[in-house]
Structure 1
Amino acid sequence: MNKIIYSFVLFFSLIQLSCKKDNRDSVAENQDLIKDAKTNTIIRPIPNEVLEKLDDSLKLYYAKLNNYEIWYNDENRTDLINEIKFCHKDGLNADDYEFDKIKELESKRDKMDDNEIIDYDILLTKNYRKIATHLYKGKLKPTQLYKDWDLIKKELPLSDSLANAIKNTRVSSSLKNLKPKDFMYKRIKRSLVLLEEFPDYHFNKIEVKDKIQLNDTTPIIVSIKKRLKYWKDYTKTDSIITPIYDSTTFVAVKRFQKRHGLKPDGVIGKGTVKALNFSKNERREQIIANLERWKWFPHDFGNEYILINLPDYSLNFVKDNDTIENHTVVVGKSTRRTPVLTSKISNLVFNPTWTVPPTIIKEDLTPSATKNRNYFDRNKISIFDKAGNIVSPEFWDPENSKSYRYVQSPSYNNSLGLVKFNFNNRHMVYLHDTNHRDYFSREYKALSSGCVRVENPLKLSETILKLNDEKWKKSEMDTIINRKNTKTIPIKNSINVFLLYWTNWSDGNQLVFREDIYDLDKKLYESLGN
């Protein structure tokens, strides 16, 4: 009597079968075949000589299931095949997972011998591993693409995930659980669905020399109206499209500008024309790049966190999944990019001094002070030599400008303003107030030297301090600022800070895009090889 084998939390009855041979031993020879008592499906052992040829990762997958075939169940195979078939919804490409080959082999599976079934099983396992990895942490490694990106490395025991999925016939669910769960990822996915509703259409480039204002008449307005109509911003049904920039078109332009993060003033200038000239295919590539990027980001942001989207020039403070306040920010220029990173707020510094960083010494301070030594007094900057002695501007040596330390005194017009927010990172960047408060009203806000300047920073300070153990009051904060002495307040409660980068999402049934300020989208899409 064959003994009963318990495996995969299912009951299997032992059977003895003879199998065909190819150049290797039959999978059944000297090994036990088992049968799934629930589905009456034969489950074949993986021969040792086959296991030995697998890489360590695949060996672990099979070891988790006692070195038997994994994909014996029709439902599990169907789930995997369907996930691969529709992976484009997550910005992936079915060709990367040998979809056509798998589809062909699946149609022939009933006629396969045991060894062919084992080979097919390994093919499925390899591609489960591949698509699971890509869904969880993306196809590419950000550290290999960007030297200034510091994201926490994501690891997941995928072999455990597959083992649990096979046992519970939940392959589809296991893959869905690997995807980013943040609402923004879902909004980016939604934008891909919305985009596909637009017809394929070849766009001719719109060229505008001068800004176009309301009531202007110019032939290019006809093309602009057609483009706005294509993107559903212009909803009027016209039998004849005139070259007049009328009030209906004015409203449509403002709607378009708002969706693209442009100043919604209705004036058609360079920024608006640039956004109008994006084709459907270019927007698709941009969305796919953003889906990849979000797979790199953390799956769990925590209960309290500051989330900054660099291209959107926005800061959101989130507590218990609710945005409790938001701020406009200024970020680094394209030549001095703000890095993408994750960290934790460590302390706030009121009335901070500002030590001029090396890049600004080289590119700003030295050239300006060489022309006029009054630069130091005008900007309240003190010069210190290596011994810590104050150096008079008249004895400052521009040829050795790097050998000095430059410190700006606290004031309302200090480069850091009235407060800065420190968090640990290797780039020496932080959040801070600014002496250029007019920058927040500009359309293009990639204007800093790398740090993030925050509008209304004292409101953000108040919120952070209220969450701190000491429960600071606004009056206490005001007293510190009015005394004009530098004071550092440690933040004991953990508040995560995320400086991230994404240029697309959806808002209801509307597509939303932002200018790719660091020109990352196109290069990322090309690197994906889709």
Structure 2
Amino acid sequence: MKKLYFFLLVCSLIGCKKEEPKKIPAAIGKAPEIILTDERKVEIDTAILSTFKSETLKQFYASSDNKTVWGNLEKRKYVLSQLKNADKLGLEPEDYKASQLLKFESRISSLNDANLATYDILLTYNFEKFLNHLYKGKLNPKTLYSDWDLDEKTFDVNNVLIKAFNKNKLDSIVDNIQPKSLTYKELIKSLEIINSFPDEDIKTIESLKKITVKDTNSALIAIKQKLLFWKDMSGKDSLTNIYDAKTFESVKKFQARHGLADDGVIGPGTISALNYSKERRKQQIIANLERWRWYPNELAENYFIINIPDYSLNVVENQDTTLVRNVVVGTSKRRTPVITSILKTVVFNPTWTVPPTILKEDVVPAMKRNRNYLAKKNITIYDTSGNVVDPQAWNENKPGNYRYIQSPGYNNSLGLMKILFPNHHSVYLHDTNHRNYFVRSNRSLSSGCVRVENPLELAKHILNDSVRFSKDRIDTIIASKKTMSFKINKKYALYQWYWTAWCKKNQLIFRADIYNLDSDLYSKLRH
């Protein structure tokens, strides 16, 4: 009867949700032996371990000779504290049965052997689940997005946990396994900051026209309330409907924090950002914490890091930011993929081959209207044998039977340079013939590749040879209009990632969620 009761109790505790517990990958290699102390120990029924469908859990208790391990009060208190406060790291305490475990703890002295074994197993199972989620995220990006290419992170949770357990260093394990990135640490701080804000009760701002300084508009009362709430405006305000100088400066501060043109003009973009509630911003921070757990925990010595929603590229070498560039990224229909790769080659005077999507959606309709469309763009049509095809002889019913190649030059779609790196999406970094785009605040305008501002300076920097690739030498190469490729000898990683929230000098920073990923990700994290 004891075994039957034990089995039913475990089933009830792990079956609170309809979904099965997430399988944790098996540990890498044999786990070290667990050093047990003199506290009360009872036998673990291996049949009960099997109900969790976790090889990791079986291996953990094999290392203790299938005996309970959490007899030490201080170790239990640490685990319970971490699970209870998981929300401070953007996780959900009840994903780890925090309240049920605390109930077990409250009556630990009266637990019979079967209940004590149950408690021990659940402590281990949920703490390892928590550690896995902290290290590599709760969700798998590969199952969520087809255009996210990130190496799957492996984590030998038993090895890490048992070593910390044996050395009485459990109090450092949670910090050690989290991402080391400053942005991630700032996001943890962001969560703390936003939790310090009071509850808000400010009505939705509605304004059909732009508001400029000295205007009178009834929406300004709610706008000022929002600015005061987020501390972009300080002190007291009479909350009039007049757009005065103080409000103007506060609006510019708010706009800068949100990546908007900080001109003080209150238009649709500013209204949209103002209408985000505290709760929605908090959810955005939590979604970004999950993303950062998908990324590599430690970054390379030298790297390019592109934040897609921030339209920015930073070159970092030996922990020092050496170059910053504005970039243009893909539209919501033609998204820039998330990629981790290695930069390989700089190509000067590139040709451009029209890709299938642009051919279908842009070129074919334009050619049907005007057969000279491609000629005006310096694009030559080739048949399968490599022969030039006259636009008038082009078969509009079989456009896929041709190659469409644009000659090198200043007005080439790739501009004067591109940087290649291995990926599955046929994307690269490149110059552009739309150089005026870089002054815009919204730069989600490309077909998926990342366009880089002042690319020749960037090429000179990364080729890192003042003789072979001086400014004069690069100018000569460009003037030749000949396509030339050069290997990048210095090793640079490329991190082309997506995050919409962080913190700087205790100020919350947000960017528009240009691909509408945040709310969906948060919803999946909580269900």
Q: TM-score, normalised by structure 1?
A: 0.90
Deviates more, 1:362-371 or 1:517-526: 362-371
Q: Secondary structure at the match of 1:311?
A: helix
Q: Distance in 1 between matches of 2:431 and 2:170?
A: 49
Q: Secondary structure at the match of 2:512?
A: coil
Cα distance, 1:202 vs structure 2: 2.3
Matched, 1:141 2:140: yes
CA deviation string 1:339-385 (max 9, x = no partner): 11111111110000000000011111111122112212210001000
Structure exhibiting the larger radius of gyration computed from Cα positions: 1
Cα distance, 1:52 vs structure 2: 6.0
Q: Distance in 2 between matches of 1:467 and 1:519?
A: 42
Q: Which of 333, 337, 346 is the matching residue for 2:344?
A: 346
Going from structure 1 to structure 2, the CA distance change for 1:115 and 1:490 (only over 3 Å counts) comes to same
Q: Which of 316, 321, 324 is the matching residue for 1:323?
A: 321
User: How big is the alpha-carbon RMSD for the aligned residues of Structure 1 and Structure 2?
Assistant: 2.1
Cα distance, 1:114 vs structure 2: 2.7
Q: Secondary structure at the match of 2:207?
A: coil
Q: Is the 8 A contact 1:203 1:277 kept in 2?
A: no
- 1:298 maps to amino acid: P
- 1:347 maps to amino acid: T
Q: Which residue of 1 aligns with 2:169?
A: 170
Q: Distance in 1 between matches of 2:57 and 2:469?
A: 54
- 1:192 maps to amino acid: L
Q: Which residue of 2 aligns with 1:202?
A: 201
Q: Distance in 2 between matches of 1:503 and 1:152?
A: 21
Q: Which residue of 1 aligns with 2:288?
A: 290
Q: Distance in 2 between matches of 1:491 and 1:70?
A: 53
CA deviation string 1:425-469 (max 9, x = no partner): 11101100000011111121100001000001112111211189x
Q: Distance in 1 between matches of 2:141 and 2:66?
A: 35
CA deviation string 1:261-295 (max 9, x = no partner): 00000000000000000111111111111111111
Q: Which residue of 2 aligns with 1:378?
A: 376
Q: Which of 300, 303, 314 is the matching residue for 2:301?
A: 303
Q: Distance in 1 between matches of 2:45 and 2:195?
A: 47
1:76-475 aligned within 5 A: 76-238=75-237, 240-466=238-464, 472-475=469-472
Q: Secondary structure at the match of 1:196?
A: helix
Q: Which residue of 2 aligns with 1:516?
A: 513
Q: Distance in 2 between matches of 1:36 and 1:385?
A: 72
Q: Distance in 1 between matches of 2:441 and 2:326?
A: 11
Q: Which residue of 2 aligns with 1:29?
A: none
Going from structure 1 to structure 2, the CA distance change for 1:154 and 1:242 (only over 3 Å counts) comes to same
CA deviation string 1:123-158 (max 9, x = no partner): 111101110111011111111111111111000110
Deviates more, 1:479-488 or 1:259-268: 479-488
Q: Which residue of 2 aligns with 1:8?
A: none
Deviates more, 1:322-331 or 1:172-181: 172-181
Q: Distance in 2 between matches of 1:515 and 1:70?
A: 48
- 2:140 maps to amino acid: K
Q: Distance in 2 between matches of 1:321 and 1:88?
A: 30
Going from structure 1 to structure 2, the CA distance change for 1:380 and 1:164 (only over 3 Å counts) comes to same
CA deviation string 1:180-218 (max 9, x = no partner): 111000111111111112111123111111111111112
Q: Distance in 2 between matches of 1:407 and 1:364?
A: 15
Deviates more, 1:392-401 or 1:183-192: 392-401
Cα distance, 1:516 vs structure 2: 0.3
Cα distance, 1:64 vs structure 2: 3.2
Q: Is the 8 A contact 1:316 1:326 kept in 2?
A: yes
CA deviation string 1:466-492 (max 9, x = no partner): 189x97433332221122110011223
- 1:356 maps to amino acid: V
Q: Distance in 2 between matches of 1:465 and 1:381?
A: 30
CA deviation string 1:98-123 (max 9, x = no partner): 01110010111122233322221111
Q: Which residue of 2 aligns with 1:500?
A: 497
Q: Distance in 2 between matches of 1:212 and 1:166?
A: 60
Q: Is the 8 A contact 1:80 1:128 kept in 2?
A: yes
Q: Distance in 1 between matches of 2:109 and 2:508?
A: 46
Q: Which residue of 2 aligns with 1:22?
A: 2
Aligned positions, number? 499
Structure 1 alignment gaps of length 5 or more = 1-20, 27-34
Cα distance, 1:227 vs structure 2: 1.3
Going from structure 1 to structure 2, the CA distance change for 1:355 and 1:49 (only over 3 Å counts) comes to closer
Q: Is the 8 A contact 1:206 1:273 kept in 2?
A: yes
Cα distance, 1:529 vs structure 2: 1.4
Q: Distance in 2 between matches of 1:98 and 1:48?
A: 21
Q: Which residue of 1 aligns with 2:16?
A: none
Cα distance, 1:53 vs structure 2: 5.7
Q: Distance in 2 between matches of 1:471 and 1:317?
A: 21
- 2:515 maps to amino acid: Y
- 2:233 maps to amino acid: Y
Q: Is the 8 A contact 1:70 1:166 kept in 2?
A: no
Q: Is the 8 A contact 2:462 2:490 kept in 1?
A: no
- 1:358 maps to amino acid: P
Q: Distance in 2 between matches of 1:65 and 1:415?
A: 63
Q: Distance in 1 between matches of 2:91 and 2:224?
A: 34
Q: Which residue of 2 aligns with 1:4?
A: none
